[in-house]
């Protein structure tokens, strides 16, 4: 077997292959030189200095050894031959496998037309996190975070907790508007305002300006206004790593397009941030960038390969996506598939105290739940979402739980 992407999804696929009894060779390809590591701590514990880099390792050395993997780290896949199930690497080597797992993840979006400047960062890798941490330790006078999604919000929170002056810039009117809607997005904005973050909502960044020292000095907005900055962190989403698959014959569209079983082509599956598939539970084509999905889909993709090798049809992959974010003293959890125009109802707790759970409804069904320091309620309503419960059933549960 050949796994392209030494990521959480790729490693979970390898682990599942072994747990399911696969005894053949497994080759793991990764473009980073480090052994696989966990990414959620990068924007939290690593950025704050609470953890050292070695704590992000996904597996202990003895656990990695037990998987009996052949490693090809620090090399990049540049081409895929579907018929031969072979992958060309940028060092000229060609690897072949009976089955292929595509788990190449995604990379951060960057600002268009922005010239390279010192002091400008994205956050995706361990190297990124360590570099930003060093900048924070140098006490920059003004940190500007472009993008008020979960990554941007976590970076802003860590910066403020270290006493730095932070401005968070977002093109939408409130943070996470497309995901949480205006009402709950406003709550997220208030959390940051309460902790001293300056918020510029509805503001589009046009360019970054540097000085003679080659370092960023200003953020220029599309209306011509300017903001002083000596450090900028850009968190405006990610792009799935699929360019190397162009011309391969795979269907690409904001990810590797798979069927409902994670199959992209005979003997080829995709998992994690790079995979797009139809989730029958929500009647929606989705690509999910969360930790939990990487774990579950990596396993599902591996089982699909084994089922195909045995001449069996694979099972549909129908998860309820789930995500968490630590910001200040709040643990924010989101489960389901929410949209900004969904009906929203707070079912427990107090929004003013930032300790509550709210459910999301669409077309007569519960489709999501948002919790601020309410983990029990998030899990309760996540189970209802998984069972395709109606909106009325969810409201009845809320009434009984209250």
Rounded average pLDDT over 107-119 = 90
Q: Which of 291, 297, 292, 338 is nearest to 315 (CA)?
A: 297
- Global pTM value: 0.95
Q: What is the pLDDT of residues 23-81, one digit of tens each?
A: 999 999 999 998 899 999 999 999 999 999 999 999 999 999 999 999 999 999 999 99
Q: Specify the DSSP class assigned to residue 322.
A: E
The dihedral over CA atoms of 56, 52, 290, 372, expressed in degrees to the nearest 10, equals: 130
Q: Which of 305, 388, 380 is nearest to 347 (CA)?
A: 380
Burial class (CB in 10 A: 0-12, 13-18, 19+), 260: middle
Residue 402 pLDDT level (bands cut at 50, 70, 90): low
Strand 2-4 and strand 355-362: pairing? unpaired
User: What span, in angstroms and rounded, lies between the C-alpha atoms of 272 and 163?
Assistant: 35
What are the structural domains, with CATH classification, of the chain? 2-107+238-309 (3.50.50.60), 110-234 (3.50.50.60), 329-401 (3.30.390.30)
Strand 284-286 and strand 343-350: pairing? unpaired
Residue 112 pLDDT level (bands cut at 50, 70, 90): confident
Q: What is the pLDDT of residues 144-202, one digit of tens each?
A: 999 999 999 999 999 999 999 999 999 999 999 999 999 999 999 999 999 999 999 99
Percent of the chain clearing pLDDT 70 (strictly above)? 100
Average pLDDT, the chain: 96
Q: What is the pLDDT of residues 313-332, one digit of tens each?
A: 899 999 999 999 999 999 99
Where b means 16+ CB within 10 Å and e means fewer, 271-300 reads: bbbbbbbbbebbeeebbbbbbbbbbbbbbb
Residue 401 pLDDT level (bands cut at 50, 70, 90): confident
């Amino acid at each position: 077997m050949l796994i392209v992407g030494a990521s959480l999804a790729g490693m979970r696929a390898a682990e599942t292959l072994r747990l399911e009894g696969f005894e053949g060779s497994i080759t793991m390809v990764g473009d980073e030189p480090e052994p696989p590591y966990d990414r959620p701590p990068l924007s939290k514990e690593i950025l704050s200095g609470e953890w050292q880099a070695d704590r992000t390792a996904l597996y202990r050395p003895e656990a990695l050894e037990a998987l009996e993997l052949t490693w090809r780290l620090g090399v990049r896949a540049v081409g895929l031959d579907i018929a031969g199930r072979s992958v060309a690497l940028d060092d000229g080597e060609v690897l072949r496998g009976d089955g292929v797992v595509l788990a190449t993840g995604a990379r951060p979006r960057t600002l268009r037309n922005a010239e390279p400047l010192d002091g400008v960062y994205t956050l995706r890798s361990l190297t990124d996190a360590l570099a930003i941490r060093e900048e924070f330790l140098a006490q920059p006078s003004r940190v500007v975070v472009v993008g008020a999604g979960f990554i941007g919000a976590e970076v802003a929170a860590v910066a403020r907790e270290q006493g730095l002056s932070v401005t968070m810039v977002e093109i939408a009117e409130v943070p996470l508007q497309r995901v949480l809607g205006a009402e709950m997005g406003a709550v997220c904005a208030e959390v940051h305002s309460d902790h001293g973050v300056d918020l510029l909502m509805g503001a589009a960044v046009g360019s970054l300006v540097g000085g003679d020292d080659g370092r960023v000095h200003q953020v220029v907005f599309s209306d011509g206004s300017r903001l002083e900055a000596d450090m900028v962190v850009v968190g405006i989403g990610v792009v799935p790593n699929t360019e190397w698959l162009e011309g391969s014959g795979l269907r690409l569209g904001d990810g590797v397009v798979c069927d409902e079983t994670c199959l992209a082509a005979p003997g080829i599956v995709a998992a994690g941030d790079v995979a797009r598939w139809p989730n029958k539970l929500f009647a929606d084509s989705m690509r999910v960038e969360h930790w939990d999905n990487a774990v579950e889909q990596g396993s599902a993709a591996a089982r699909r390969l084994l089922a195909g090798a045995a001449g069996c049809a694979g099972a549909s992959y129908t998860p309820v996506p789930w995500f968490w974010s630590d910001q200040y003293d709040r643990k924010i959890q989101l489960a389901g598939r929410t949209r900004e125009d969904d009906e929203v109802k707070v079912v427990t707790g107090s929004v003013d105290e930032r300790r509550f759970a709210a459910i999301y409804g669409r077309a007569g069904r519960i489709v999501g739940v948002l919790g601020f320091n309410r983990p029990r309620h998030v899990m309760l309503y996540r189970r209802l979402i998984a069972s395709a419960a109606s909106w009325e059933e969810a409201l009845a549960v809320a009434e009984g739980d209250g």
